[in-house]
Structure formats: structure tokens, C-alpha cells
Structure 1
């Protein structure tokens, strides 16, 4: 693991963009993308850049179950607003939150991942060390699946909704094995609420209790953290 500690989110976005740009220039064709607050600065840098994605493909980590693509809380909406409208890809894939047949949707999205092997995977991390929506207890061999969200995840995401009861309880997600299949991984984390998760991910036991700890087994992982998220690493 290559751990890069930065002063703040602004510096983190600059460093993340350099890592992303290097992968792009080295020929990465399929980009695994993430949502949430962690990649916002990176997406801003990409929007402002001259990078052209008209011959590149994106696959997203996850999508809430039960939300339409047009719902402002959906990850389809988020990605369009934060990246795709400014930087369209040749193809951009996300799970279908309104899929009527769960098994068929899981199979469909897994086939997309198999047909488009990820060269560069972007990740955030939850306070319980989930990556994608792979909550503690998820098997490391898990591929695309429908997930019941942990209460900690619902609590963390309620700030994006008017009421807690509006937060979806289920999502579709790439599995941990799907994530580990990527050739290169970049994880971004900011803030003291992520410090324990980062400590456990980087220095803890590799255990399904800490989903992101499996990244210790990956040969090409970069982790960008601000000083607050890195606070426990040197104790």
C-alpha cells in the first residue's frame, strides 16, 4: 500500500488527480467510479481538465435499490451532475435501482464487470470500513450482490435526505472480489470519523469485520488521507 498523507481535502484532490491522470495516460480504459463526498474534489479536477473519455468506459460501485435514475438522491443523478455531463464516457454503467428482478439485475451487472475488466478503481470508505456497500461480514469472495445496509451506513447517509426514513435500506453493489479484480485501486478518505477505519484497513488484521482490510492483499493500492483521517496511523 502506498499511503499519501495530505494536509486537507484540497491538497488531497490535487494528489488524487495526479494518480488518476497517470493511470489515464498509462492507458487505463475502464474506470471504476465512486460516489459520496470523498471523490468530489477529484471530480472537480477532472471536469476542469483536458482529459477526454470518449473512448473510455466507466462502471460504478453501487446504486440504491428503489430509486429511479432521475431521483436526485440516486447515484445515476450524482454521477451525471458531478462528472458525466461535463465529461461523457463512451459507455457508463451503473446498477438499475428499479430493477424488478433482483437476481437478473445482479447477473446483468456482474456480466458488465466481466466484459469490462476494471483498470482503475476509485473508492471511498465508510466509518465501519465498508467499501462500495460491502458491509462488515461480507465474504471476501463476494461478487455483485444486493445488500441490506447497516444501520451505521444509514445513519451516515441520512444527511443527504430530508428524513431518515427516506434513506434506502437496500442497494446493489460490486462485491469485494469484484473490487479486488481491478488492476489499480485508489482509496480516498478525509476527516476524523474515518481515522479508525483507516487504521484497521492499513494496519489491522485482514478480516471480514473490516471489509476494506482485504486491500492489504492487493498489489497496487494507493490511499490518500488527510491528517485527520491519518491521525491514528502513527500512534
Structure 2
């Protein structure tokens, strides 16, 4: 547990920076609100000359179906705004599934193979209030690969704050699967706020099962969980149940 969101961002930037300095050149990048402070911190470190992402490639965790790459809430656009423009990571080095592809299943297979070849060195993750990881909603197979997923109404409600109207939130996404995520060499999970407390406790102290997709983190050998006091509350209250 870390004292606040700023400390979480600094610790995450430390982990990413150490991986890059050790030779990692492939970064997995999540969106949502949790990683934004981390991307800002990486920008400060690049500006100060203590870090360079110029030799790196970044791979999106997921993308909304139906949004073009220039839509302000398309995740490719979010990463361009929050990470590329703050650092020396080249815009041409950001890779992701195309949510406006004509054949979404073929696009999922294409991106799955691209991620497999890339061999992600460090993957940044958030956790949903229902325990989703990426957009792998409860019930997702633990060995799932990149695919099209229908969002739950709870997830759409959680993401409505990013859109002008709740009905504008897309109903489907392309997401890396849980099995895809587990292939990354290092996982860095960020959890901020009390809304994430129950999900984080279930993920780390409960059984590994599809009801809590993030519980699959227990199967990875190099996971770093960075949580503020609100998100960690459930961990402090709950005995390990696995």
C-alpha cells in the first residue's frame, strides 16, 4: 500500500523505468483514469533527462469498437494525448487493434499475433470495479485471447464519465485476453480509490476463477500491485481465502 495516488504513479514509473533501463523495449499500456498519473510522471522524467522511451514500442490493451483512431475517447487517441505527447515515444510506435475494422474477428486475430511476436516486457493494468482486467468481464475464460467482448452495463456506467452522454459509451470492445496478458514478462497493476477495494481484495485473496478475471494475476510470477489506501482497504480487512 502506498500513501496516495501520486506515490502510486511514482512507484509505477520506477518499475517501468527500471524495466526500460534493463533492456525492455515493449510496453503494454492501459487507459482509464488509473494510469494517467503514471504517464504524466513518465513525461516529467523524460523531460528531465532521466528516462527515454525513444527506443520503445507501446501496445494497447484494448480499444472500443466503432470509434475511429481520431475519436477523442478512442484509446489510441488517449495514449497519443496522455503518453506520446508527454514523452519521446514516437506516435508511429503505438500499436493497437482497430475498433473500426470491417472484420473484427480477423482484426482480433491479427493483433493477438502482433502482441505475441512483440513479447511485452512490462504491462500496465488497471482493475475494474467488477474485477475486469483489460475488458475481460466476469465469466471470461482464464486462457482467453484477443477478441470482441460485450461490455456489461456496470462497466459502461463506470466509463460514462468519459463521454458526453451515457448512451454514447460503446457496447463492444476489442480486448487482449487474460491468456494474452499473462504472457507479459512483468505486470504492474494500479488500483486507486475505494470503488476498487472489493475487486482488488477478490483478485488477490480469493480463488482464481472467471467470476473475478483479475484473480488470474495470482498465476503470474512477476506482478507488482500498487494501491492507495482506499483501494487497499479490502486487503487489510480480508484474510487470504485462496
Check whether TM > 0.5.
Answer: yes
The equivalent of 1:201 in structure 2 is: 203
| Counterpart for residue 75 of structure 1 | 75
Task: Between 215-224 and 111-120, report the one with greater CA deviation.
Answer: 111-120
Q: Which runs of 5+ in 1 are unaligned?
A: none
Per the normalisation by structure 1, the TM-score is 0.96
**After superposition, where does 1:42-191 map in structure 2 within 5 Å?**
42-50=38-46, 51-87=51-87, 88-89=89-90, 91-191=93-193
TM-score by length of 2: 0.93
| Residue number in structure 1 paired with 2:240 | none
> Residues of 1 paired with 2:11 and 2:225: CA distance?
10
1:33 aligns with 2:35: no
In structure 2, the residue matched to 1:15 is 11
How far residue 53 of structure 1 moved from its aligned partner, in angstroms, is 2.0
Per-residue deviation, residues 30-56 of structure 1 (Å, max 9, x unmatched): 110000110111100111113222221
Higher relative contact order (CA 8 A, sep 6+): 1
SS at match of 2:231: coil
After superposing the two structures, state which structure 1 stretch, 78-87 or 186-195, moved more: 78-87
Q: Secondary structure at the match of 2:227?
A: strand
Runs of 5+ unmatched residues, structure 2: 238-242
Structure 1: how far apart are the matches of 2:226 and 2:158?
21
The number of equivalent residue pairs is 231
Measured against aligned partners, the alpha-carbon deviations of 1:6-41 in whole angstroms (never above 9, x if no partner) come to 111111111111111111111111110000110111
